[in-house]
Homo-oligomer: A and B are copies of this chain.
Amino acid sequence: MNIVVLRLGHRPERDQRVTTHVGLTARALGASGMLLASDDRGVIDSINEVTRRWGGNFFARLVGSWKQEVRKWQDSGGKVVHLTMYGRNLPGVLDEISGTESVMVVVGAEKVPPDIYQVADWNVGIGNQPHSEIASLAVFLDRLHATDRLEALTQEFQGGTLKIVPSGRGKIVEEV
């Protein structure tokens, strides 16, 4: 399964930390990359720096028009899932989504352009309570991988310079 995250509605003055969390969550839970529909180079750089140090092939890049990215994705056979608290609750829709080969996951900040509700193949709530787009993305990716019998948490990230040795107490980091 190829999964790319598209981040919408990012405002550089207030969303930098949250969008960075979105990108790192996407990477840690097995997405291929994140597209950011905004002009904020700093967020992209800090995500790519994590990839450089910790390995793997995750990409993060800016895009000009989110609509064009969505159209390109759908034209080449991919499907688009928009995560929103107003959507159909995940447990009722996951079966429909599973088996899709290429999934673009759209993650909005507080305000998203209304069009996204129309162009998405699915509008999906991770529950229907207000919470966090980071949490929503995490649960969605974790459960989507599970439908493919993939364990999102034990992927290998090749080629970085740092690696954690999991430990019951304290911090063990190896340089590789």
Contact = CB atoms under 8 A, between A and B. Distances in A.
A162 to B, nearest CB: 9
Contact of A129 (B27, B84, B169): B27
A60 to B, nearest CB: 13
Interface string A22-47: 10110111000000000000000000
Nearest to A120: B169
This protein's copies in its complex: 2
A105 interface: no
A169 B118 contact: yes
Nearest to A50: B130
A169 B118 CA distance: 7
Interface in A149-170: 151-155, 157, 164, 166-170
Interface of A: 14, 17-18, 21-22, 24-25, 27-29, 50, 54, 84-92, 117-118, 122-123, 125-132, 134-139, 142-143, 151-155, 157, 164, 166-173
